A and B are shown apart, each in its own frame.
Chain A
């Protein structure tokens, strides 16, 4: 691994990595059973540098903001490196946002360049607000021949002739602007510095080793903070291989494990639960004798790995299970949302340790992680070396708001000093999550203080971001809340959004309102939908500028009703 203390920027470290391991495989891109490409570090460089030169010739220089909107694939990484080589600031946008949201975030970030996949670009150009797009250079990947690209250039042909100039950046310079929320409310563009990433990478690599020959299966989009770190920066500065799979279909993920002899993978809780379900079904289908034998082997593995993982032993005892994962799997990582301890324990008992962590976009990748010494399914692990975690204003039960401080915490929110000041207090990142610390320094998460939910798919959903979907609803006023924000619960699972509808007479409200809400709800992506609504007959409290006082409204509702008021959709 490169000694990251010697580098001042991601571009600088990655540039040396490309020279250090020229003949190692750095990227494999697979789609279903096909392999689209396989590149050594040398070949990666040969693809990235002409792109960097073309970007430079088009005006991309130090600090130029450049967005990438792409699914999980090799061109994402090649493009990102080219941007860093030129000294640019990367704006990784979630490709699953709507075209309207893409346009809003491109405008908010002031991205001057955009690198985007063809099908996503086509959708953006069909959006009514497209004519207002200020981005001056757009480069589109995988566009069919003879297609009108509305002024964009083709990635495959966008190549400069001469060697690009490497632009070095300081540690305190911006590396990325990463959005932790959508657009309907107040976009949260987390400004991350090169120092944030270099320190995060150094710390994580000290806990989980990567080296040439390690193969990391990347199935999460690289705009996701975890995949950006563990599926790009981390493997590259260690000379390891990233295997991109352009589908999330379980049958192809299974196949990729064995075909590519995967060492590590990162998943979201939803995938982990699906994996658990599939394994349990397979175990249940075994003949009684074999099932009994398997149960005994699992019990033996559990007893022998209580103190720490013993991979060789688990692979010996539970050979067929480990073979199904390719035989080389050392650990899985899970993040993006809360994971059920039972799922983590189930996999650990099979000899598959899952690095369960806790993080926020605002904190880079993670602030705590399970270090397996010993494995604890009931917590999200200990603070990473170099990161301090404390509980602010704990109650008698020790539960309070989790705060974190360290070199991995973002610089600020883009163009929002007010929100920055409310979130970073005296150098501490106030997470808005509730938790408590046990005597051994393990953090347990127990709910949220903030008005938002996180889905099992790892999506953060802020109520303000979906409210415009319910505009023109035939009510006096309305507001969307995370149900747990109104009625706090000590849980991080099963979070739901609810809509409060202000009506004149709750008794007379017709089924028409229900169908109006249902119809609008269905326009939203599945993970952003509300679960139900309830009726409210008093005016919403508002500020002088007529904004709804959400905290006050939640308190009023809490004082008068409970969850039984929710009309489920």
Chain B
């Protein structure tokens, strides 16, 4: 979870301390679904996994995103 938030903070250039696991990242980061997808490649490279775009479908918070990643590790 922490690594995911760290990656998101770095990718969207926001202080890590401002992000919480339950945050709605669309709202918190002010991004649209297309911008959210750009984070997936960064996550794939970091965890050495493949995350199809559909894994982000319906996901709006870091907690759920981390769970989706965990399932593929």
Name A's B-contacting residues (CB within 8 A). Answer: 71, 95-96, 98, 119, 246-251, 270-271, 274, 456-457, 522, 525-527
Contacts and interface: CB of A to CB of B under 8 A. Distances in A.
Interface of B: 24, 26, 32-35, 37-38, 40-41, 52-54, 57-58, 60-61
Given A71-B54, A250-B34, A526-B26, 19 more contacts: A71-B53, A96-B57, A246-B52, A247-B37, A247-B52, A247-B53, A248-B34, A248-B37, A249-B37, A249-B40, A270-B34, A457-B32, A457-B33, A522-B24, A522-B61, A525-B57, A525-B58, A526-B33, A526-B60
A2 B43 CA distance: 46
28 contacts: A71-B53, A71-B54, A96-B57, A119-B52, A246-B53, A247-B37, A248-B34, A249-B37, A249-B38, A249-B40, A249-B41, A249-B53, A250-B34, A250-B37, A251-B38, A251-B41, A270-B32, A270-B33, A270-B34, A271-B34, A274-B32, A274-B35, A457-B34, A522-B61, A525-B57, A526-B26, A526-B60, A527-B33
A460 to B, nearest CB: 16
A282 to B, nearest CB: 15
Most buried by B among A249, A251, A457, A525: A249
Nearest to A456: B32
Contacts of B54: 71, 95, 119
Contacts, number: 45
Contact of A274 (B34, B41, B53, B58): B34
Contacts of A247: 37, 52-53
A248 B39 CA distance: 12
Contacts of A456: 32
Nearest to A457: B33
A457 B31 CA distance: 13
Contacts of A250: 34, 37-38
Contacts of B37: 247-250
A522 B61 CA distance: 9
A522 B25 CA distance: 11
Contacts of B52: 119, 246-247
Contacts of A119: 52, 54
A250 B53 CA distance: 12
A457 B34 CA distance: 9
Contacts of B33: 270, 457, 526-527
Contacts of B40: 249
Contacts of A270: 32-34
B12 to A, nearest CB: 14
A99 B73 CA distance: 25
A251 B34 CA distance: 11
Contacts of B32: 270, 274, 456-457
Nearest to B44: A32
Contacts of A526: 26, 33, 60
B64 to A, nearest CB: 10
Nearest to B41: A249
A527 B33 CA distance: 9
Which 10 pairs show the lowest CB-CB distances between chains A and B? A526-B26, A249-B37, A247-B53, A274-B34, A248-B37, A270-B34, A525-B58, A270-B32, A248-B53, A249-B41
Nearest to B36: A526
Given A249-B38, A250-B34, A251-B38, A522 B58 contact: no
A131 to B, nearest CB: 23
B57 A522 contact: no
